[in-house]
Structure 1
């Protein structure tokens, strides 16, 4: 019998077809512990599921892992659903996973805790982000199912407390597939309807029915809403991430309507109390001012003003005399300083020197003659006196040598 020889590729393809056509290995659940978890940049997840006796390589492609409600990590016990096949390039069999959930701990609860931890770390639930709810809004928006009991309860309470408040309903799907996106879209519309505040909520239900209010897309929209939001999801014992992100949490939709606006009758009573208090305060102030006027009318200053003014007039007279004397003394001092300056200027002035009998001699070029050697016999010179000038002719020059100028 001739030997049948298979290539590695042929054998691998044969085994792959066997595994993929075996109904026992398709659509199976496998339970174990995650290890070597890696999320590729493509979005695909690669990891191993193990127990005390064996290991199983697993792949979960992006299209499937986007539906996960929790964040897988090493060491986590999980139940994975998928089919067994062979990866030809490595020749290893592996589980292609299409669904996965935590083992033991409920997947919804784990997803809730993980998302809560993530958003808390971002500061999305900080009290510093909370805004006050307007006490007397002109318009309140209700984001809920338009046909549920919750919307009827909220409208009834709002009308009882404020007959004049304007109510606008933004309908949204509150449970099931697509509910979170529907609610998030309704929150985004708040910036366009002109409401002063809003209530988002629904009646009670199971955790699965209320789960839309724990979805990240809605929680982020509520935290960043353009107006203050009151969250009222389910009953008092129900607590969702939307409650944490809202500006105020109410235990029920009816309670949210109570918190959304002040009681109209109570508000009117409060206004009357303020009016009465203001009237009493004003009357008290007027009485105080009347008594002050009476006191001033009987005071010595106003009853006999001449006595008060007489003393002030005497002070003014004394100050006037003192001011006049001070001005005369200052004027004399300035005059003395001025005369002294005039004397010093006179002593330094060339005209002063001429008046004392001296003269200035200039040659024909109008240059000052300082020495006899600077002119010659027959030169014409000008002599400047204190009063007038002389035109002179030099008849004789007597040189004084190096004698200094007088």
Structure 2
């Protein structure tokens, strides 16, 4: 017991006051020190408070806890919701509120030591297979055109990487695979993100995330992710957490950077340094070209001083003399050669004249015989075609007569009908046609006024007339209204 309970004033001797009962319970609880494990569900560490207040729970119960700031800071543990912690302390009561707390003496993250042991064991096994050997790792392309970035699209790491790449190597195209970097499904998502980046044409893949606890970084210790990194067809650069953090993914990766910004720097050339190097190379190249041109100019000057170029005719002097000699010989030999060829041609012409009648006599005799035979056989050969042609001519004349008879009849009827319809026939019967100045036929008195000039066509000519007056005959039949 913590002590004797105070006396109850005006109450039964066996009854305790509230303060006495709380003191009794407090004394009983504070004598028990326990160690427990639970998951943090609430944390309150406000500035100015003397203690940190939090709640731990399991599947069936929850327990409010408090820990004085000096103990909390000495533990080196940062409490956060969801963390599994191991606590040592005692139960106590806060009498003023009637609330029970667990007064924490020490706190440690539960299970982290076991996790670290598992990760170390897994790392040794992968190292034994050669996945972490330096000889297996590939170098990053010096000037990558497409860079794959696999990280959370909502974290600070993606902005750090993009900002660094934009500053150092803006010529590269960045392919972003936004994936979760925490939780049970994170390793599979990271593997799929890398594969999609490679399929999009990435020449190097950046696998990055910001800092966090050991448990937060556990997806990057996954064996399947490590094997996928080793199997990537392009180099993989990791920038996971901060400088002290080291994961299996870092060990297997081709290049390990201390943070996301370092990974972006490792995968890209420095544009400013590259420009400076190019300027230096350009100056060196210009100096080399200048020296080469100077040497070439001196060599040309030396060659120009040679007699061959100062007196070029000396190069062709012997050939020119030989050409002149040959031209003289040709001029001397050409008339004799032409005379000999002329004499030989005359002899050939005389021989041909003598032999030509003898060569053509047989052919002439055969031609005369053929001509005589054709003269004898010609009338007999032409008699049958002539008789057939005469018979065909008679038949054609008969058929032409019969065939044209029907058309002559139709033409006669058409001519008679055309004559009946001709306006000349109408004029011949005493009618006339009046036309206005524009040549249009005047069909009504309404088309002519007094003083108008008309041309009147009669059977044998035309009359130029002037209208003196126009009168309408009511009984007249308008030609254009006849049925």
TM range (shorter): 0.3 to 0.5
For normalisation by structure 1, the TM-score amounts to: 0.47
TM-score, normalised to structure 2's length? 0.40
Of Structure 1 and Structure 2, the greater helix share is in: 2
Structure number with higher relative contact order (C-alpha < 8 Å, ≥ 6 residues apart):
1
